[in-house]
Structure 1
Amino acid sequence: MVMRVAAPGAEGAVLLLHGGAENGLRRPSWLNPASWRMRPFATAVGRGGGLTVAEARYRHRGWNGERADAARDAAEALAALRERTGGLPTVLVGHSMGARAALRIAAEPGVAGVVALAAWCPPEDPVEQLAGARLVFVHAAADRITSPRESLLTAVRARAAGAQVCRFVVPGGDHAMLRQAGLWHALTAAAVHGLLGLRPLPPETVSAFALPARSTDGLGVRAVPRAAG
């Protein structure tokens, strides 16, 4: 785990979980583009102070099937952050494989919510652990690396399992979150601060969270700057 922002007197914490590969046992380099991609998100969520921001370090580049290495490393990083902060409520912000890991460990103690960016959501992944969780998905409509449809189906399954779910769709966009980067950052910051109770959640998120388990509304909200609130 690497500390990005260590805020004295912080009211909450954020754990960033970068992307990776389906398979790969090599250790990611510190020059790993997937890790650098999360740096602007650390800046965005940390702006204004009041939050401790950390980034998980993976032992391996890949998820590696049933080993689920990224999820195991994410859980260890979360435990280390919890000890470091004295148990502050924590939002998990994951991209691609990191989002998959965040969803897998959403039931860990102290997790106040998950922001899943361009989430890798294989249909066979479990959702039972998401009962009672608060989840904000953000996915680009034109993502060709991770499937927007599979993240939508996971959002539907998660809500049916008892999670509160909102899902924003970025028009166009891409997997790397470089196009309309400011919108990605603003949506993430608004979700993080809202999930931690530091600011009101965006109204679209509040409405989506209130929907019943069988509803599919609020899972394809068009992402626009005002939604970042």
Structure 2
Amino acid sequence: MCKNDKKQGDAGSEFVMKSCCQSFPDRIGFVDRPDVPMQGGGAVVRDAVETDFVPDPVTAYHEAGHAVVGVLFGMTPVEIVAGSAGFVRWRDNPMPLEAGLVMTMAGDFAGGLAVRVEYRPFDSELAPWLELIRKPAGGYCDRCRIIRQLVVDAGIDAQDAIILSAYRATEVRTLEILRRNEVRAAIRTVAIALMKTGRLTGEEATAIAARYIRPGELKEHRNENS
């Protein structure tokens, strides 16, 4: 889903994923907490209403994918919502760049689990995002965030092939994680819980995921090999 970041400052601040991407102008942006200052990617056009939180299967799996993979990397979710414009609210947990890219990409692949599809976009499908980011433009949807970071890393003048190669490497790492049976079980169970209520607290989602995975496992594994 599309996302938006809360301004980050002191330790303990939060960042929020919300719908706001300029590359999807038909998607409406909304605020679940009007007291939270928002920035980046798009304009807030209305406050949230209850119908925004009616559970949607693909969105539930998508947000569960973000949550479960984030928990694997040692992140702390605060709230997960699976309505028409789902989001995950995270506590401010700095993470290695690779972990952030994988956690972000996990959403779309996890969403595919709801319809039993593993979909990898062709280079031609990624081209419009490369163009948006280089303008610079685009918002904070998953793909925008990933490609923006890859462009920053490679340089604004880097050839498309270099950026796409880095994108594919992130795909490989993300799928390596999501193809693990215990990870899929955690995503599926969190998604089912989301479908019942439309939202979970971070503690609830983490407790559900921890039946199948060990929170912080990938963070610890990275530290052991660094």
When the two structures are superposed, what TM-score results if normalisation uses the length of structure 1?
A: 0.25
Larger Rg over CA atoms: 2
| Structure richer in helix, relative to its length | 2
Counting strand residues as a fraction of each chain, which structure ranks higher?
1
Higher relative contact order (CA 8 A, sep 6+): 2
